[in-house]
Amino acid sequence: MSTSTDLASIKEVQRKARQGDFGVWRKDYTRQYRQVLERIYEEIREEIRPYLNIPEESITCLKGCPHCCAQFVSVPVSHAVLITDYLYASEKAMSHFLRGYDDWLRAVEDNPQAAAVLSSLEEYTASAAAVKHYPQELCAAYHAIDIPCAFLDRGQCSIHAVRPIVCAAYFSVSPPDYCRADSDTLASILAISPSQANLRKLAELTDPRLSLHQESLPKLVYKLLTTGLPEVILEVERLFNSQG
């Protein structure tokens, strides 16, 4: 599919997304979701702050350091909706994502190992009724292939304001080069777990199934942009019904 076709399809999906009662609901939903998300980001910042003053475990993540941005990341539909609306509001971010998605998809499809590892990881997102943890060896194998995130823009996250929670909660306390995919030294990575209360608030904003069902970040956002949320909701419903 060409970029021009992508944009034409996306603009039509965007127009429908803003129409009528559904458009009113979506606008209100993303506003409330972002408010809770900001509280989660602040919660994570508060948890991280003590590490700024510990010499032996000081955070080494700096703006523009993209070494961690080759990890496999999945997001729930509920969060991906916010990201798509963020892209709707930013022509620059949208254009970059479409180019980045083409590059990301080509890098996966042109590398049989990458395609196989991604397919294996996606099996853990396809079963929405039960939350599963990705095998560490698969995550490590994907990271080692070193395919940049489709949202990276010259080493920086183009959706930083609405980035996935897992990205906000993930940080390193070892030298940045240890986070490189080709590093022989394991990085010391820590992650903050948001409070269950705030996660519950996110889930309560919409159908809980949309918070449970996760897919690969770039693929899910692209799907929402080009087919629309109603179609994705039907797909999730069919999945849950088939598992019932």
Q: What is the pLDDT of residues 139-150, one digit of tens each?
A: 989 999 999 999
| 13 part of a folded domain | yes
Burial 136-171 (b: 16+ CB within 10 A, else e): eebbebbbebebebbbbbeeebbbeebbbbbbbbbb
Q: What is the pLDDT of residues 35-44, one digit of tens each?
A: 999 999 999 9
DSSP SS3 for 220: helix
Whether residue 219 has pLDDT greater than 70: yes
CB 181 within 8 A of CB 67: yes
Residue 234 has pLDDT above 70, yes or no: yes
Within a domain: 244: no
Q: Count of domains in the chain?
A: 1
- Other CB atoms closer than 10 Å to residue 206's CB: what's the count? 19
| High-pLDDT (> 90) share of the chain, % | 59
Nearest-angstrom CA–CA distance, 204 and 181: 37
Q: What range does the domain containing 79 cover? A: 3-239
* Rounded Cα distance, 138 and 90, in Å: 34
Q: Judge whether 230 lies within some domain.
A: yes
SS3 24: helix
Q: What is the pLDDT of residues 85-122, one digit of tens each?
A: 999 999 999 999 999 999 999 999 999 999 999 999 98
Rounded to the nearest 5°, which phi and psi values hold at 174? Answer: -125, 170
- Which residue shows structure tokens 């770039």? 218
At 239 the pLDDT is: 83
| 8 Å CB contact between 226 and 13 | yes
DSSP state of 184: S
Contact criterion met (CB below 8 Å) for 68 and 144: no
**What's the pLDDT score for residue 93?**
94
* Strand runs labelled E in the chain: 74-76, 152-153, 156-157, 170-172, 189-191, 214-216
Of 176 and 26, the structure prediction assigns the larger pLDDT to 26
Place of tokens 């949309």: 210
> Does 146 reside within a domain?
yes
Read off the pLDDT of each residue in 191-195 and give the average, rounded to a whole number: 87
Q: At what angle do helices 3-17 and 20-48 cross, to 10 degrees?
A: 100
Q: What is the pLDDT of residue 241?
A: 83
| SS3 at position 191 | strand
